[in-house]
Chain A
Amino acid sequence: MTMKRVARATHVAGNSSAGKAGKREGWLSRRSFLGAGAAAAASGAIAANALADDGCPLCSLESSPVQLASAQQRKSELQKMTSGEVPSLISSADEVWAMSQTHQLTTHTRAAWELHRSVIDAAIAGGWENAAHPWIPERQAFYRYPLAFGSYAIPSLVMIDEGEYDNAVDCLRKSIYLIKENAAWNDWTRNKYGTDAVSRYNIMYKGHLNLMYGLYQMMTGDDQFEAEYQAMTDIIVKEYDYNKSERGFIGVECEPDQYFYPCNSVGMMSLLIHDKVFGTDYEDKYVMPNLDFLKQTMTDEELHLPYFRWHPTHGNAENFVFGDWWTLGMIHALDPDYYQVAFDNSKDLFITDIYDGQACYTKAALMTDGISTDMEQRTWIFYLPFCCREFDDPQTWSKIETFFQMKYETAVADDGELRFHDNTDDETMMEAYFFLGDVHQGWRAILDYDWPSFVSRHA
């Protein structure tokens, strides 16, 4: 079993054709929050970098007789961070937070948005194997998530700057085309979970699609996807009804017997948006009962942190907790006080300051102080800026953005797009998350926004 991190991501500066991954073996393709780090370690891809104590703040992380390779490896990766100055962010938290008043995108936001558009346009124009931003087929199951979360940035983008309307709608429409494209879902059918990806289970896919449909119709008034949207929502609510009446739980599984908090949080948001668009009462009928079920079944009573997953056959929630900033960012609006507790605890448990609090890293697991290595998806570090925007936390946002800027040597290229000079193929389409992490206005603000007036202004 070998795995070499030979591939670069699709938007490495000056290396636009280097997005092809080598043949990868290992436990890689579970989903965005599983496997890759384990595979890297399992395959021996992580070398034991025996670094001398160089004063790096991360040295103190190792307190175990068991060597913490994660810390060692990260020390190597972050040596430049120890020797250099902590850089100023391309755009500060103050600037990012001020966008809702200035109605001007910051430099970083503009660059992330331009790159995201470029990635989407390239896939539409040249297919998945396009020259500018080719995909990595081995990471097929990862693509639906940035397609979706990049789309969740679109309403906020136009709330900030209505001048972006045409480009925003174009990008969202294309993102829907792409997430409906076979490559974004056929891992489901290849794995023989069903002959199609939506009829039953797979809320991890159809929840996103349903939300994307909803956001598109909400902010455009365009009925291009309405028939599909209604059909998809109908599938989801019927599955809610069936699971409640026949199986005794509320919500929808991803794979059979695998019920995940985050994926249901997306399905729930999609139903709230459906209420906005069509005046249905799904909030009372499905969403709030689902929220109660999640709190009662798979949430830590004291910390309010979501547990990893729940299994209907055995009725057990695996009490594996992690920095689940996806879920917290998606579900906060449904019970702000309750999930504020969870967010605060998630920071206490999974975020550690470095450089005198100018930056932070995220822990790989509750039980260790070891830093997450190449498993950003596992700790969902990319969802943290979005979550900070949702919870109005510019301090933490600034720290994690500083970490990203240092780790990836982020810069704005001459063409105005963001560039990551030191990323790997583990960070699939990560610009979508940075884009969302800049513009997100909070789901309550999005839900309460006067979209009918907005639509009429752009009719």
Chain B
Amino acid sequence: MQLDTVKETPVSSTADEIWSMPDNENYTLDIWGHYRQMTDFIDVVNYLRFVLTDEDPTTAKYGQRALTWLGFAMPSLAYTAPSQTTDLSYFEHLVLSNAPSDYLVNKYSYYGSENVSAAQLALDAAFYRLISGRDTYDTREGSDDVLYGKVGFHELVDELKGVVEDNGQSAEGIPAIDTVRGRFEALPNLIAMMAFELHDRFFGTDYASMNADILDFVESNLRDDDTGLFYESYMTGRLGYEEEPLDSRSRWRTSELLPSVNALALVFYNHFNPEQAGRAWASFKERFGEELLGMTADDIATSFGKSFHTALGPSSEALFGALAAAREMDDEEWFGKLQDHLFEIGDVAMTEGQTHYRAFGDYEAYMGMFLTFARTHIPWKTLLENDWEASYSRNDSIMH
């Protein structure tokens, strides 16, 4: 009976208390509020799966991205409170069974990307395997227990490998994953690399052998030598028709370093090149710190639905992504600064046991869900080295 534990958990959102959550094997009150919001959202999506376009058009457009990033939060939430592992495995299962639905993607949006979806779903499938030990999503075959869609980890990494090979063998000659045809970015490649690594770990395959070339491309073509930060995108001009000729002199790269791009990329880059990520994080704080801590609620409220990678937009990705990056970089001081600012501008409230950022406008619930990931993230290295088997059969989730 852990009721007393819950009741006695200090209500706080200081960086120190967030950092202490794994030691306490429990969440702070406002993180419980995120947890409740997350599970409620996933449950509703699961229940309304085919009528979302009528009931909740926003989720119908952006639900997949909201779900996949919640899926990224599951290992951290389970690591933090191991007693929740079975419940979180179940919710990762709901993420995977619902996120592929056509009803959760705005197919007509410029920001739709099948490759980004494949990479994110592959990583969620990997995390389900990691925290549950179950094979439900290993393959698309045998989907009797899966009700709504079917993610297959094997098939997804195969598809991603096919993208890498196709791009590498095309006139582009770039062995990496394009976000959309002719456009390359760091983030989806880093996410796919992690999925490859985990697939090899679980199944003894060799997908991660591609990672060195992918990372070489990303670091050589998308990284600024002076700061270690990433540019947003690298363009090849490829249209995609057969035997398409391309002249490498026509390639170009965006020239501005953006906090949104780097915040999200650093969350994953640190796993593959911690030394360079550390340098980039220092540059990030120096270059973008003042901007981030000067963001207003209006900046955030209007920053939604403008990204290939999340349901968010540049400003919200920057501030929220920086929180996740600070956690990945184990930078408690900066996490504290960012979180203090978040609370200062967010008008944070707990309603019905759920944490809401009322100043962030009509889409604050989606922002809150990304913040579930950002505020609870545990460094990947810690997560991947954790003894998950010890939690597979736990049946002592905290009463809440």
Asked if B59 and A319 sit within 8 Å, CB to CB, the answer is no
B54 and chain A: residue at smallest CB distance: A190
Q: Check if A68 is an interface residue, CB within 8 A of chain B.
A: yes
Asked if A313 and B397 sit within 8 Å, CB to CB, the answer is no
Which residues of B from 28 to 80 have beta carbons under 8 Å from A? 29-30, 32-33, 36-37, 39-41, 43-44, 46-51, 55-59
Q: Check if A334 is an interface residue, CB within 8 A of chain B.
A: no
B348 and chain A: residue at smallest CB distance: A66
- B6 contacts across to A, CB distance below 8 A: 366-367
Asked if B3 and A70 sit within 8 Å, CB to CB, the answer is no
Q: From A35, A190, A256, name the one whose CB has the most chain B CB atoms within 10 angstroms.
A: A35
Which residues of A from 25 to 59 have beta carbons under 8 Å from B? 25-31, 34-35, 37-38, 40-44, 46, 48
- B12 contacts across to A, CB distance below 8 A: 65
Asked if A375 and B352 sit within 8 Å, CB to CB, the answer is yes
Asked if A37 and B352 sit within 8 Å, CB to CB, the answer is yes
- A192 contacts across to B, CB distance below 8 A: 49-50
Asked if A66 and B349 sit within 8 Å, CB to CB, the answer is yes
Asked if B352 and A27 sit within 8 Å, CB to CB, the answer is no
CA distance A375 to B350 in the complex (A): 13
Binds B, one of A205-213, A265-273, A297-305, A433-441: A297-305
B27 and chain A: residue at smallest CB distance: A367
Asked if A38 and B33 sit within 8 Å, CB to CB, the answer is no
Q: Check if B167 is an interface residue, CB within 8 A of chain A.
A: no
CA distance A319 to B44 in the complex (A): 18
- B239 contacts across to A, CB distance below 8 A: none
CA distance A367 to B33 in the complex (A): 9
Asked if A366 and B352 sit within 8 Å, CB to CB, the answer is no
| Contact indicator per residue, chain A 300-328, by CB within 8 Å of chain B (1) or not (0) | 11110000000101111111110000000
Given contacts A27-B44, A67-B348, A191-B49, contact A42 B56 (CB under 8 A): no
A-B contact count (CB 8 A): 189
Q: Check if A365 is an interface residue, CB within 8 A of chain B.
A: yes
Q: Check if A182 is an interface residue, CB within 8 A of chain B.
A: no
- A26 contacts across to B, CB distance below 8 A: 55-56
Asked if B356 and A69 sit within 8 Å, CB to CB, the answer is yes
Of A28, A41, A315, A319, which contacts B351 at CB under 8 A?
Answer: A41
CA distance A300 to B398 in the complex (A): 11
Asked if A319 and B352 sit within 8 Å, CB to CB, the answer is no
Q: Check if B376 is an interface residue, CB within 8 A of chain A.
A: no
Q: Check if A257 is an interface residue, CB within 8 A of chain B.
A: yes
B132 and chain A: residue at smallest CB distance: A314
Q: Check if B298 is an interface residue, CB within 8 A of chain A.
A: no
Asked if B56 and A38 sit within 8 Å, CB to CB, the answer is no
Q: Check if B86 is an interface residue, CB within 8 A of chain A.
A: yes
Asked if B352 and A191 sit within 8 Å, CB to CB, the answer is no
Q: Binding site of B, secondary structure by majority: helix, strand, loop or mixed?
A: helix
Asked if A300 and B349 sit within 8 Å, CB to CB, the answer is no
Asked if B29 and A29 sit within 8 Å, CB to CB, the answer is no
Nearest Cβ on chain A to B300's Cβ, whole angstroms: 13
Nearest Cβ on chain B to A375's Cβ, whole angstroms: 5
| Contact indicator per residue, chain B 339-353, by CB within 8 Å of chain A (1) or not (0) | 000000001111111
Asked if A25 and B11 sit within 8 Å, CB to CB, the answer is no
Given contacts A2-B362, A368-B29, contact A30 B43 (CB under 8 A): yes
Asked if B11 and A63 sit within 8 Å, CB to CB, the answer is yes
Asked if A69 and B349 sit within 8 Å, CB to CB, the answer is yes
- B33 contacts across to A, CB distance below 8 A: 66
CA distance A319 to B90 in the complex (A): 13
CA distance A27 to B55 in the complex (A): 7
Nearest Cβ on chain A to B166's Cβ, whole angstroms: 35
- B145 contacts across to A, CB distance below 8 A: 313
CA distance A257 to B50 in the complex (A): 17
Asked if A41 and B352 sit within 8 Å, CB to CB, the answer is yes
- A378 contacts across to B, CB distance below 8 A: 352
Asked if A64 and B29 sit within 8 Å, CB to CB, the answer is yes
Q: Check if B384 is an interface residue, CB within 8 A of chain A.
A: no
Which residues of A from 411 to 448 have beta carbons under 8 Å from B? none
Of A43, A65, A316, A366, which contacts B11 at CB under 8 A?
Answer: A65
Asked if A370 and B50 sit within 8 Å, CB to CB, the answer is no
B58 and chain A: residue at smallest CB distance: A1
Asked if A300 and B365 sit within 8 Å, CB to CB, the answer is no
Q: Check if A364 is an interface residue, CB within 8 A of chain B.
A: yes
Given contacts A64-B11, A367-B29, contact A313 B90 (CB under 8 A): yes
Q: Check if A373 is an interface residue, CB within 8 A of chain B.
A: yes
Q: Check if A255 is an interface residue, CB within 8 A of chain B.
A: yes
Q: Check if A398 is an interface residue, CB within 8 A of chain B.
A: no
Q: Check if A202 is an interface residue, CB within 8 A of chain B.
A: no
Which residues of B from 346 to 378 have beta carbons under 8 Å from A? 347-356, 358, 361-365, 368
Nearest Cβ on chain A to B131's Cβ, whole angstroms: 11
Asked if B362 and A314 sit within 8 Å, CB to CB, the answer is no
- B201 contacts across to A, CB distance below 8 A: none
Asked if B400 and A320 sit within 8 Å, CB to CB, the answer is yes
CA distance A70 to B89 in the complex (A): 30
Asked if A27 and B40 sit within 8 Å, CB to CB, the answer is yes
Of B36, B349, B363, which contacts A1 at CB under 8 A?
Answer: B363
Asked if B358 and A41 sit within 8 Å, CB to CB, the answer is yes
Q: Check if B25 is an interface residue, CB within 8 A of chain A.
A: no
- A48 contacts across to B, CB distance below 8 A: 347, 349, 358
- A69 contacts across to B, CB distance below 8 A: 349-351, 356, 358
Of B57, B147, B351, which contacts A373 at CB under 8 A?
Answer: B351
Q: Check if A372 is an interface residue, CB within 8 A of chain B.
A: yes
Of B1, B351, B356, B358, which contacts A370 at CB under 8 A?
Answer: B351
B40 and chain A: residue at smallest CB distance: A38
Of B3, B56, B351, which contacts A37 at CB under 8 A?
Answer: B351
CA distance A240 to B48 in the complex (A): 26
CA distance A27 to B29 in the complex (A): 23
Asked if A64 and B350 sit within 8 Å, CB to CB, the answer is yes
Of B354, B355, B362, which contacts A44 at CB under 8 A?
Answer: B362
Asked if A67 and B350 sit within 8 Å, CB to CB, the answer is yes
Of A25, A44, A314, which contacts B58 at CB under 8 A?
Answer: A25
Given contact pairs A28-B56, A316-B90, enumerate 11 new A-B contacts (beta carbons under 8 Å).
A26-B55, A27-B56, A29-B44, A29-B48, A35-B44, A38-B352, A65-B12, A66-B350, A300-B1, A300-B399, A315-B395
27 A-B pairs whose Cβ atoms sit less than 8 Å apart in the complex: A26-B56, A27-B56, A27-B365, A28-B56, A30-B40, A30-B44, A34-B40, A38-B41, A40-B351, A43-B362, A44-B362, A66-B11, A68-B351, A69-B349, A69-B351, A190-B50, A303-B1, A314-B86, A316-B89, A318-B397, A320-B36, A364-B352, A366-B6, A366-B400, A367-B6, A368-B350, A373-B352
Residues of chain A at the chain B interface (Cβ within 8 Å):
1-2, 25-31, 34-35, 37-38, 40-44, 46, 48, 63-70, 72-73, 190-192, 255-257, 300-303, 311, 313-321, 364-368, 370, 372-373, 375, 378
Residues of chain B at the chain A interface (Cβ within 8 Å):
1, 3, 6-7, 9, 11-13, 29-30, 32-33, 36-37, 39-41, 43-44, 46-51, 55-59, 86-87, 89-90, 93, 132, 136, 145, 147, 347-356, 358, 361-365, 368, 395, 397-400
